[in-house]
A and B are shown apart, each in its own frame.
Chain A
Amino acid sequence: MAISKPDVLYRNISHKPPETNWMDVPLEIKPGRYCYAADPEPLEYVGMPNPRKWNPLDDDWKLPENWKETVISGMKERLEKFRSFKVFMDICVRCGACADKCHYFIGSGDPKNMPVLRAELLRSVYRGEITKAGQILGRFAGGRELTENVLKEIWYYYYQCSECRRCSVFCPYGIDQAEITIIGRELLNLLGLNIDWIAKPAANCYRTGNHLGIQPHAFKDMIDFFCDDIEEITGIRPEPTFNKKGADYLFITPSGDVFADPGTYTCMGYLILFHYLKEEYGMDITWSTYASEGGNFGFFTSHELMKRLNAKMYMEAKRLGVKWILGGECGHMWRVLHQYMDSMNGPPDFLEVPVSPITGTRFQHAASTKMIHIVEFVADLMKHNKLRLDKSRNDNLRVTFHDSCNPSRGLGFLEEPRYVINKVCNNFFEMPLETIREQTFCCGGGSGLNAGENEEIRMMGGLPRANAVKSVRDRHGVNMLANICAIDRATLSAMMAYWQPDVGVTGVHEMVGNALILPGEQERETDLRGEPLPGKEEDE
């Protein structure tokens, strides 16, 4: 066969993808966008169905024989059980208000990352397999048959949704794609179609008490390392207690704060704060090496597993006999607590309504859950001038704040972190309004999507946030991105390294730890990262 001349070949190259109805676009599972399949062991450990070795790139996903019946009956069961799911399957009018609100769509341009279309992947199955209109009219009524390819497509895109709920802010009906994704993943889990980065942490948490499977002695060792560093910097050694029966309060934070930089510096901030509160006010806070995880990866698996993992925190509070629980800087821990805990495991009548022993403030919103966020607790302390602070220690930082999806949209937690930041640093700058508070962009790694193998989708999803950071960096010289979520700290660090390498990432309590003046401390030369404090650079 004759080979065409170069100019003819060149003219025939088209970069334009073919125009096809979305139902006919063949599924292509792209590296960098999907996560590895769950290993059988963690699924077995928590009693999830169909544990086996499988690979999303293989044709055969080793589904159980009756997989289709399982999904459809599972869907019917959930339509009965969750009114929100039924409403969300029925009422979308395809207005498109949500279409360009998802960070993954904005960054990737993949239409199936439009929330409306992501929901439609499941909604079309609901219509085609369950509604009368869909069964009779089929595709004309927006219905389609549940085939293996359709199932694979749902799997691929439902693990490209971080359940951040930004789209729901713009939906005139308030359709919450996160709720649809949660049910979608629950249906996938009926067939053993979980991802490894969720299944393993969930099983570890169920068995050992935290996502990483850190055993009690290692957990304590890590905290001891932090105490060594704090002693070196401040001359004061905090003396945290572990599993102390009869302590007044139990503190639970994401295990990422104990094992992953820069969360570790946030953890040091907690330790400094608790030491201060113990010395100044006699506040007795204990850590648990068993309930050593604030996050809840059961939430990304099924309602049932979420309930089991959440219950562990309360069982430990009961065992230790504390008054109430103080929670660290975490994202989805707070959504689970605020939106689900009370009807799953509540009310925990063995605990008291949280009241600050220092200011007397009663946290009425937590009257039922008996657990409050460290940022609201500290904001209250600051409001009552109960902390001695030297905010000039953070003068080398020009800070902006990333509202984590769950505390902001799931908990309405907007002012408290800003209040604390402004009390501990002099240079705070907001990103544009359309990128923060209720409209905040996800970091790109929420809902269990912070695995190594899907970094590219995270980079795409993180672009809207990075772009907003760039604007305050260019305008105000911002060099630090603060947040109150362990997943943020992990995800944003890698994301900033790619998009804005001169901007670092910090937890709010790292800055609190820097600013807080411990009674009897030595003159500090460095911050918690070991970097010289402002004005101390020459003394190096």
Chain B
Amino acid sequence: MNFNSMIKKNKSRIINIWLKKFTDTYSEQSGKFFRDNQGQFSNPVGYTFRVNMEKIFDELFLENDQEKMSEYVDGITRIRAVQGFPPSVSVSFVPMLRESIWEVCGREIAREGMHQEWLELNVKFEELMQLAFDTYMSCRELLWKQRADFLHTRTHKLLERAGFITRAGK
């Protein structure tokens, strides 16, 4: 069995371990809620995590399309970026994927001597980490931009209404 097939065969186990690790960053009850409630609308956080984790996993072993990958990473990171975690914990789902795969398949990888393939996969994890970092930063910057725009617009409007500034042509 080749490297990719061996990992893909264990997909559901890996995803479950991955989701468990990631949701363990919340308190016990909340992590359980995010994992166990399958509702798309009653549990948007858990649902979005699971769906996007599955897509990330699949994409890693398909074409690793950066556009699609960005969308999936965004799904998870956009939520984490507003939940008050330190940045490193917000994007910790990436190293957790590596850990989860190793926990499930590490012994076989070592036994079969698939070190080269494992190294190549690790390069993809690093790219994924960079993507997650960029997404996290864009989310945080958007939040601050919204705040800055709000203050800027309000101040400008007030000055304009008070007659302190006049636009050219008026």
Contact between chains at A459 and B42 (CB < 8 Å)? no
- Per the bound structure, the CA–CA distance linking A497 and B148 in Å amounts to 14
- Contacts A17-B27, A467-B44, A499-B78: A109 and B147 contacting too (C-beta < 8 A)? no
Residues of A within 8 A of B34 (CB): 109
Q: In this assembly, does B122 line the interface, its C-beta being within 8 Å of a C-beta of chain A?
A: no
Residues of B within 8 A of A463 (CB): 44-45, 79
Contact between chains at B42 and A498 (CB < 8 Å)? no
Q: How far is the CB of B161 from chain A (nearest CB, A)?
A: 7
Q: In this assembly, does A108 line the interface, its C-beta being within 8 Å of a C-beta of chain B?
A: yes
- Contacts A111-B30, A460-B83, A499-B78: A434 and B143 contacting too (C-beta < 8 A)? no
Q: In this assembly, does A94 line the interface, its C-beta being within 8 Å of a C-beta of chain B?
A: no
Q: Mark B19-30, 1 if CB is under 8 A from A, else 0.
A: 001001111111
Contact between chains at A471 and B40 (CB < 8 Å)? yes
Q: Which listed residue (B37, B42, B143) contacts A455, Cβ 8 A? A: B143
Contact between chains at B48 and A16 (CB < 8 Å)? no
Q: Which listed residue (B31, B41, B48) contacts A434, Cβ 8 A? A: B41
Residues of A within 8 A of B146 (CB): 455, 494, 497-498
Q: In this assembly, does B92 line the interface, its C-beta being within 8 Å of a C-beta of chain A?
A: yes
Q: Mark A115-157, 1 if CB is under 8 A from B, else 0.
A: 0000000000000000000000000000000000000000000
Residues of B within 8 A of A33 (CB): 84
- Per the bound structure, the CA–CA distance linking A19 and B89 in Å amounts to 18
Q: In this assembly, does B61 line the interface, its C-beta being within 8 Å of a C-beta of chain A?
A: no
Contact between chains at B45 and A106 (CB < 8 Å)? yes
- Per the bound structure, the CA–CA distance linking A218 and B157 in Å amounts to 13
Q: In this assembly, does A100 line the interface, its C-beta being within 8 Å of a C-beta of chain B?
A: yes
Residues of A within 8 A of B89 (CB): 15
Q: In this assembly, does A232 line the interface, its C-beta being within 8 Å of a C-beta of chain B?
A: no
Q: In this assembly, does A32 line the interface, its C-beta being within 8 Å of a C-beta of chain B?
A: yes
Contact between chains at B82 and A464 (CB < 8 Å)? no
Contact between chains at B41 and A468 (CB < 8 Å)? yes
Residues of B within 8 A of A452 (CB): 147, 150-151
Q: In this assembly, does A83 line the interface, its C-beta being within 8 Å of a C-beta of chain B?
A: no
Q: How far is the CB of B25 from chain A (nearest CB, A)?
A: 4
- Per the bound structure, the CA–CA distance linking A33 and B41 in Å amounts to 23
Contact between chains at B37 and A100 (CB < 8 Å)? yes
> Which residues in window 440-493 of A have CB below 8 A to B?
452, 455-456, 459-460, 463-464, 467-468, 471
Q: In this assembly, does A80 line the interface, its C-beta being within 8 Å of a C-beta of chain B?
A: no
- Per the bound structure, the CA–CA distance linking A99 and B30 in Å amounts to 10
Contact between chains at A16 and B45 (CB < 8 Å)? no
| Residues of chain B at interface, number, CB under 8 A | 35
Q: In this assembly, does A435 line the interface, its C-beta being within 8 Å of a C-beta of chain B?
A: yes
Q: In this assembly, does A59 line the interface, its C-beta being within 8 Å of a C-beta of chain B?
A: no
**CB nearest to A435 among chain B residues:** B41
Contact between chains at A15 and B92 (CB < 8 Å)? yes
Contact between chains at A108 and B27 (CB < 8 Å)? no
Q: Mark A489-507, 1 if CB is under 8 A from B, else 0.
A: 0000010011100000000
Contact between chains at A32 and B84 (CB < 8 Å)? yes
Contact between chains at A218 and B24 (CB < 8 Å)? no
Contact between chains at B44 and A106 (CB < 8 Å)? yes
- Per the bound structure, the CA–CA distance linking A474 and B100 in Å amounts to 31
Residues of A within 8 A of B139 (CB): 498
Q: In this assembly, does A432 line the interface, its C-beta being within 8 Å of a C-beta of chain B?
A: yes
Contact between chains at B143 and A498 (CB < 8 Å)? yes
Q: Mark B46-71, 1 if CB is under 8 A from A, else 0.
A: 00100000000000000000000000
- Per the bound structure, the CA–CA distance linking A17 and B25 in Å amounts to 6
Residues of A within 8 A of B30 (CB): 105, 109-111
Q: In this assembly, does B4 line the interface, its C-beta being within 8 Å of a C-beta of chain A?
A: no
Q: In this assembly, does A279 line the interface, its C-beta being within 8 Å of a C-beta of chain B?
A: no
Q: In this assembly, does B165 line the interface, its C-beta being within 8 Å of a C-beta of chain A?
A: no
- Per the bound structure, the CA–CA distance linking A256 and B56 in Å amounts to 43
Residues of A within 8 A of B33 (CB): 99-100, 109
Residues of B within 8 A of A16 (CB): 24-25
- Per the bound structure, the CA–CA distance linking A221 and B161 in Å amounts to 9
Residues of B within 8 A of A5 (CB): none
- Per the bound structure, the CA–CA distance linking A373 and B120 in Å amounts to 64
- Contacts A16-B25, A19-B28: A107 and B45 contacting too (C-beta < 8 A)? yes
Contact between chains at A100 and B43 (CB < 8 Å)? yes
- Contacts A100-B33, A111-B30: A464 and B41 contacting too (C-beta < 8 A)? yes
Q: In this assembly, does B123 line the interface, its C-beta being within 8 Å of a C-beta of chain A?
A: no
Residues of B within 8 A of A468 (CB): 41
**CB nearest to A14 among chain B residues:** B24
- Per the bound structure, the CA–CA distance linking A33 and B40 in Å amounts to 25
Q: In this assembly, does B6 line the interface, its C-beta being within 8 Å of a C-beta of chain A?
A: no
> Which residues in window 297-320 of A have CB below 8 A to B?
none
Q: In this assembly, does A81 line the interface, its C-beta being within 8 Å of a C-beta of chain B?
A: no
Residues of B within 8 A of A99 (CB): 29, 33
- Per the bound structure, the CA–CA distance linking A497 and B44 in Å amounts to 18
Contact between chains at A108 and B41 (CB < 8 Å)? no
Give 4 A-B pairs besides A106-B43, A452-B150 with Cβ atoms closer than 8 angstroms: A108-B84, A456-B83, A494-B150, A498-B78
What are 28 A-B contacts defined by CB distance under 8 Å? A16-B24, A16-B25, A17-B26, A17-B27, A17-B28, A19-B28, A32-B82, A99-B29, A100-B33, A100-B37, A106-B42, A107-B79, A107-B83, A108-B83, A108-B84, A109-B30, A109-B31, A109-B33, A109-B45, A432-B40, A434-B41, A435-B41, A452-B147, A456-B83, A460-B83, A463-B45, A467-B40, A467-B44
Q: A residues touching B (Cβ–Cβ < 8 Å)?
A: 15-17, 19, 30, 32-33, 99-100, 105-111, 114, 218, 221, 432, 434-435, 452, 455-456, 459-460, 463-464, 467-468, 471, 494, 497-499
Q: When A and B form their complex, which 9 residue pairs have the shortest distance between CB atoms, in order from nearest?
A: A109-B30, A467-B44, A459-B82, A15-B25, A109-B26, A16-B24, A456-B82, A17-B27, A111-B29
